[in-house]
Amino acid sequence: MTTPTTTSYSGVIPPVVTPLTTDGELDAPSLERVVGHLLDAGVSGLFALGSSGETAYLTPAQQDEVIKVITSVAAGQVPVLVGAIETTTNRAIERARAAAGLGADAVVATAPFYTRTHPPEIDRHFRDIAAAVDLPLLAYDVPVCVHSKLDPELLLPLAADGVLAGVKDSSGDDGSFRRLAIGARAFPGFSVLTGHELVVDAMMLSGADGSVPGLGNVDPHGYVRLHQAAVRGDWAAAKAEQDRLVGLFDIVTAAASGTASATAAGLGAFKTALMLRGVIATNVMSPPMRRLDAAETVVIAAYLDRAGLSRV
Amino acid sequence: MTTPTTTSYSGVIPPVVTPLTTDGELDAPSLERVVGHLLDAGVSGLFALGSSGETAYLTPAQQDEVIKVITSVAAGQVPVLVGAIETTTNRAIERARAAAGLGADAVVATAPFYTRTHPPEIDRHFRDIAAAVDLPLLAYDVPVCVHSKLDPELLLPLAADGVLAGVKDSSGDDGSFRRLAIGARAFPGFSVLTGHELVVDAMMLSGADGSVPGLGNVDPHGYVRLHQAAVRGDWAAAKAEQDRLVGLFDIVTAAASGTASATAAGLGAFKTALMLRGVIATNVMSPPMRRLDAAETVVIAAYLDRAGLSRV
Amino acid sequence: MTTPTTTSYSGVIPPVVTPLTTDGELDAPSLERVVGHLLDAGVSGLFALGSSGETAYLTPAQQDEVIKVITSVAAGQVPVLVGAIETTTNRAIERARAAAGLGADAVVATAPFYTRTHPPEIDRHFRDIAAAVDLPLLAYDVPVCVHSKLDPELLLPLAADGVLAGVKDSSGDDGSFRRLAIGARAFPGFSVLTGHELVVDAMMLSGADGSVPGLGNVDPHGYVRLHQAAVRGDWAAAKAEQDRLVGLFDIVTAAASGTASATAAGLGAFKTALMLRGVIATNVMSPPMRRLDAAETVVIAAYLDRAGLSRV
Amino acid sequence: MTTPTTTSYSGVIPPVVTPLTTDGELDAPSLERVVGHLLDAGVSGLFALGSSGETAYLTPAQQDEVIKVITSVAAGQVPVLVGAIETTTNRAIERARAAAGLGADAVVATAPFYTRTHPPEIDRHFRDIAAAVDLPLLAYDVPVCVHSKLDPELLLPLAADGVLAGVKDSSGDDGSFRRLAIGARAFPGFSVLTGHELVVDAMMLSGADGSVPGLGNVDPHGYVRLHQAAVRGDWAAAKAEQDRLVGLFDIVTAAASGTASATAAGLGAFKTALMLRGVIATNVMSPPMRRLDAAETVVIAAYLDRAGLSRV
């Protein structure tokens, strides 16, 4: 981290998409441009290898390449959080150590998945990862992917014990999030970040320190304005910005009904928008996802125009 | 309804609990006091026979009694919305007609449940109910109970066609709620109400017209203050009130771990708090739920004190 | 029951469909013919007001009419089990008492639904119903509808205490079913019935006493032959019969993709097949379900022919 | 494979457990003894790196070691199927290629997980893996882990196109399994294997070619006897053997209630039983799972005795 006196994270920390070439390999120049695009907008951190970064689709070697590019471009200007998202503890530790060796400023891990687990194991999972890597660790609460919810009753003791430096909440459980945010006030270094890109204003009002919006790849300036408005208490401005971004989010509906998975439709729309904005070269997706086609791209272009975003 | 020129609902509309006697029958005097307690606090409507009213536990005859008491005490001061929460269309219509005959001002229905349904059937379900009863109809989105989610894509056409007068959202899907609230601006008479008692401030910021908080039975004054602060744009005050209410919500954790269902622990806590506050006579629950015991009541009393609520 | 010396149920006990007239009311003459059709085939019981009987779609008055017709035609030849399938205890008791008053031989109840419950409440639910009605009580394990699973650990103590006379298992959890069947050997009067119409032979091998096949409305003779083969240990014959019935079950795929709910497609196919076989007058479904159309009926006719079933 | 003229698999193919040393590394000598124990019992194949092999807990390097040991001991006596169980296509291909390079005879892959997918992507997933590796590919249907079900409508076209050589079904959906088994008769080289160790007899009656029972690690002789009885049509003997094995399966209940996850309790019991039987050195589990303790081991010993299994 650039500011060693604190472990807290705030502001807008987009989960960086992973551009691919037409043969499915990492498109490093495009990724460099994505990072530059985000830094120019004033984001306060970068989350590499999150769900929006197609982390579950990249081999370990590809993941290493992604980390190298992002940390190289970030160059200490903002902290780089890196996902170590693996089924279980030893595998997550292996990826966390790789991230540490490649310049990550913090590590982000989910609960174990694929296997059937329970809270005491999830607790040990985070403790073992934190003990194995000399970097701040954030928990990623994403039950839609891992099918376990991280309750405040699990997270707050880990905050109290210094195991966790924060949480990225993509649970969609706003009541739980509120209870977490209130409980976390006792631990000033513990960051509470929301991944709910459609209600960042509302979650900031609930006590979030910042956001990790996938849509922030497409319009980082909007999310930075939203964050700043919320921080200065101008909730009307924050709401107006959020409402505009909700309209922009309609790009995820561009995929023809039933022809794309939720992931392919959503991440595919982000990539297509970035392509239209001139930031990345292609909207290629990792297999088995398909890329959005020309007709769908036209739809997305219209949504960008409606939201007032420039295109090339 | 007090304002016949519009069908819109706003403000705080608590889902009224159903007090029982020690032999399990409706405790009408206690229910009268609950309604008075809520009206005194300035609520703008009453929701009878919602989930918090143990609607799923009451026989049709008991439900009729509840409606009679509530409409009688309300006496037109505020609209009384009545749940017609049944597995399928004809059964819901039967209950909706009963409610209409007993003075309800509006009817509230969920998607079909028990059976496996899908969106076209849910659409027809609401259309058939609306056609059968000459009262405004609100949809109740409560997937935790009915295991279907009511998406904006389903609800907004029903708003456009005048089938629905509003929605009570207890889905916990805040992104969907935001999209619904934005879409509903096109239909001024359509009310968007949140059932998420822990984030009413945040959902008001997202565009809710009002709230249907179960905890509002216990502290209606707090929710009314919260609503008024949000309406005047004093989000700091709204947030402070909400945070206090989140603390009060800890009463639902009083039941000894593993010994009560989520429903028994939650509704049981509301009833116990109302008993402690002198509003109702007992905290008896419908079978097969158990009532909270003396030790659990002591815990709830402490939470009431912490939240600054008076007790008898 | 016709044989008061035992409370056990075995053989084929179809969940009787509920024929409707074109205006959506009970078609009593058609229902009488369904019962005759089943009795002629040699079924050993009838299950009225199960899921296949559209129980969740019928008002209490309609349910009463169904019971009257079925018990009247059965006339003591075989026991009539009647569903008292309601959200919670008091409501189920009300329906169970109505069934008892109308000549039911046994009552069938699920776990509570709509509300969030847990095993101790489910245990009390069955005990309260059994105590309230002077008829044998069977548990209906149908998690796809009620979202709670009835484990052997819950059911076997209820068998031991004489609360339950049996279970209809539609859980799809074949391992749990096997453990239940083995455990139930300790309670000779306790009947273990499978609702899995596609694997009745396999569940008989696992220890079932009989079956409650929805498809048995369409081809009761086939299920009776299957049962008899299994009982005499001719598993090759049982398997051959079951395989043919699996082919017949393809009628549930006749509904055009995406145009009918799973329930409408499945029960609609049973009704359409019975109409084609000359047993019932229409294939009308309860709202909000649609009935299958002419093109879908042609598909079903072809499947009936393929399975060797006569048509009118 | 030992019989290159066919790609079909049948008989008992246990998912081999992965013994660990007290410091959490692969215990190769113990694994060698497990394989010997299974071969001595007459199993007809070995499934390495399945769920029971703690595949989700092992790093790629550890997985490689497991494959080496198992293929080395198997030495062509029976085919070794190796799991390439990874979140998405490219990652699964990487593991499939590693397995091929280390002597695997076939590869086993699940649907994508962690990410939200849908049937067309799952179809492409299997096609891409099959195209990338010159080994037979089997699908592993395990919705409890990956949260997607592999329907016959998805699998049978893949069988028809020669993409899949078989399926291991751990879905618990016995009706789907029956439809798959019947449909698969059109593709003689396609193997239908059940992972439901409690109802292997019933699934053999339904048409399974063989089984992949986790409990087969503990009592492979029993499962081989069960298979042989079923193949010769002696269903009474098959059932008796299965019933005994259901009793043995009670070892998974030895873990004190609430103190172990389902995975830790189940796999931990298998390992503890193998330790008690003198096959492996420790019952150490991969983190974050705990190992069963001395008291739990005593319970398991009693179940082994009851099932008539020898101990050291």
pLDDT surpasses 50 at C126: yes
Q: What are chain C's partners, defined as 3 or more CB pairs within 8 angstroms? A: B, D
Give the mutation candidate from A235, A252, A306 for the B interface (greatest B CB count, under 10 A). Answer: A235
Separation CA B88–CA B110 (nearest Å) = 9
Residue D260 C-alpha, separation from nearest chain C C-alpha, in angstroms? 18
Separation CA D275–CA D264 (nearest Å) = 15
**Chain C residue with minimal CA distance to B59?**
C91
Residue D154 lies in a domain: yes
Q: Quote the pLDDT of residue B5.
A: 37
Those residues of chain A whose CB sits closer than 8 Å to some CB in chain B are 172-175, 177-179, 182, 196-199, 201-203, 205-206, 233, 235-236, 239, 242-243, 246-247
Inter-chain contact A88–D259, Cβ cutoff 8 Å? no
Separation CA C67–CA C26 (nearest Å) = 11
Q: What are chain A's partners, defined as 3 or more CB pairs within 8 angstroms? A: B, D
Helix (H) or strand (E) holding A101: helix A89-101
CATH number, domain with residue B203 = 3.20.20.70
C-alpha angle C211-D211-D162 in degrees, rounded to nearest 5? 105
Residue C268 C-alpha, separation from nearest chain B C-alpha, in angstroms? 13
Residue C265 lies in a domain: no
Give the mutation candidate from D25, D55, D88 for the A interface (greatest A CB count, under 10 A). Answer: D88
pLDDT surpasses 80 at C121: yes
Residues of A with CB below 8 A from B200's CB?
A: none
- Taking all residues of chain D, what is their mean pLDDT, rounded to a whole number? 96
Residues of A with CB below 8 A from D94's CB?
A: 59
Point out which residues pair with B26 in neighbouring strands: B20
Inter-chain contact C175–D182, Cβ cutoff 8 Å? no
Residue B265 lies in a domain: no
Residue B83 DSSP label: E
Residue C103 lies in a domain: yes
Residues of C with CB below 8 A from B263's CB?
A: 115-117
Burial status of residue D76 (CB atoms within 10 A of its CB: 0-12, 13-18, 19 or more): exposed
pTM for this model (two decimals): 0.96
Inter-chain contact C288–B125, Cβ cutoff 8 Å? yes
Residues of A with CB below 8 A from D122's CB?
A: 288
Give the mutation candidate from D176, D199, D201, D244 for the C interface (greatest C CB count, under 10 A). Answer: D199
Mean pLDDT of the A114-131 span = 97
Separation CA B244–CA B262 (nearest Å) = 22
Of C172, C201, C203, the CB nearest to D172: C172
With a pLDDT cut of 70, the percent of chain C lying above it is: 98
Q: Mind listing the pLDDT tens digit for each residue in C94-106?
A: 999 999 999 999 9
The identity of residue D307, as a single letter, is A
Separation CA D47–CA D70 (nearest Å) = 9
Residues of C with CB below 8 A from D201's CB?
A: 205-206
Q: Quote the pLDDT of residue C258.
A: 85
Inter-chain contact B202–A233, Cβ cutoff 8 Å? no
ipTM reported for the complex, 2 dp: 0.96
Inter-chain contact B89–C288, Cβ cutoff 8 Å? yes
Give the mutation candidate from C49, C87, C286, C290 for the B interface (greatest B CB count, under 10 A). Answer: C87
Alpha carbon B37 to its chain centroid, in Å, reads 16
Inter-chain contact D57–A145, Cβ cutoff 8 Å? no
Predicted confidence band of residue A193 (pLDDT cuts 50, 70, 90) = very high
Q: Quote the pLDDT of residue C4.
A: 37
Inter-chain contact B59–C91, Cβ cutoff 8 Å? yes
Residue A270 C-alpha, separation from nearest chain B C-alpha, in angstroms? 17
8 Å CB contact between A63 and A55: yes
Q: Count contacts between A and D (CB, < 8 Å).
A: 127
With a pLDDT cut of 90, the percent of chain A lying above it is: 96
pLDDT surpasses 90 at A3: no
The ranges of chain B with pLDDT < 70 are 1-7
Give the mutation candidate from A246, A252, A253, A306 for the B interface (greatest B CB count, under 10 A). Answer: A246
CB neighbourhood size of C257 (10 A): 7
Those residues of chain D whose CB sits closer than 8 Å to some CB in chain C are 172-175, 177-179, 182, 196-199, 201-203, 205-206, 233, 235-236, 239, 242-243, 246-247
Of A177, A179, A239, the CB nearest to B205: A239
- Range with lowest mean pLDDT among A304-308, C171-175, C183-187, C227-231: C171-175
Q: In the structure encoding, which two tokens stand for residue D140, read together?
A: 């592993």
Residue A175 lies in a domain: yes
Separation CA D159–CA D180 (nearest Å) = 11
Q: Provide the strand spans (E) within chain B.
A: 11-12, 46-48, 80-83, 106-109, 137-141, 166-169, 191-194, 210-211
pLDDT surpasses 90 at A171: yes
Separation CA D9–CA C238 (nearest Å) = 26
- Taking all residues of chain C, what is their mean pLDDT, rounded to a whole number? 96
Alpha carbon C292 to its chain centroid, in Å, reads 21
Predicted confidence band of residue D85 (pLDDT cuts 50, 70, 90) = very high
Of B174, B201, B239, the CB nearest to A199: B174
Of C174, C203, C243, the CB nearest to D182: C243
Predicted confidence band of residue A89 (pLDDT cuts 50, 70, 90) = very high
Separation CA A140–CA B173 (nearest Å) = 18
Of A88, A117, A287, the CB nearest to D89: A287
* Domain span holding position A175: 11-234
Mean pLDDT of the D128-147 span = 98
Residue B211 C-alpha, separation from nearest chain A C-alpha, in angstroms? 14
Buried b (16+ CB within 10 A) or exposed e, A62-76: bbbbbbbbbbebbee
Mean pLDDT of the D178-185 span = 97
Q: Quote the pLDDT of residue A4.
A: 37
Separation CA B140–CA D168 (nearest Å) = 42
Those residues of chain C whose CB sits closer than 8 Å to some CB in chain D are 172-175, 177-179, 182, 196-199, 201-203, 205-206, 233, 235-236, 239, 242-243, 246-247
Residue C215 lies in a domain: yes
Predicted confidence band of residue A256 (pLDDT cuts 50, 70, 90) = confident
Inter-chain contact D124–A57, Cβ cutoff 8 Å? no
Inter-chain contact D262–A116, Cβ cutoff 8 Å? yes
Residue A184 C-alpha, separation from nearest chain B C-alpha, in angstroms? 13
Q: Count contacts between C and D (CB, < 8 Å).
A: 74
pLDDT surpasses 80 at C37: yes
Residue B192 C-alpha, separation from nearest chain A C-alpha, in angstroms? 16
Residue A198 DSSP label: T
pLDDT surpasses 70 at D4: no
Residue B3 lies in a domain: no
The phi, psi pair for B39, rounded to 5°, reads -65, -40
pLDDT surpasses 70 at C141: yes
Q: Mind listing the pLDDT tens digit for each residue in D15-71?
A: 999 999 999 999 999 999 999 999 999 999 999 999 999 999 999 999 999 999 999
pLDDT surpasses 80 at C2: no
Give the mutation candidate from B64, B114, B128, B286 for the C interface (greatest C CB count, under 10 A). Answer: B114
Inter-chain contact B121–C288, Cβ cutoff 8 Å? yes
Inter-chain contact A202–B198, Cβ cutoff 8 Å? no
Least Cα distance to C160 among C190, C181, C194 occurs for C190
Residues of A with CB below 8 A from D24's CB?
A: 90
8 Å CB contact between C113 and C122: no
Number of domains in chain A: 1
Residues of A with CB below 8 A from D51's CB?
A: 115
Predicted confidence band of residue A1 (pLDDT cuts 50, 70, 90) = very low
8 Å CB contact between A133 and A100: yes
CB neighbourhood size of B22 (10 A): 10
Give the mutation candidate from A115, A127, A163, A267 for the D interface (greatest D CB count, under 10 A). Answer: A115
Predicted confidence band of residue D8 (pLDDT cuts 50, 70, 90) = confident
The identity of residue A254, as a single letter, is A
Inter-chain contact A201–B206, Cβ cutoff 8 Å? yes
Residues of A with CB below 8 A from B239's CB?
A: 205-206
Secondary structure class of D307 (helix, strand, coil): coil
Mean pLDDT of the C59-88 span = 98
Residue D271 lies in a domain: no
Inter-chain contact A199–B182, Cβ cutoff 8 Å? no
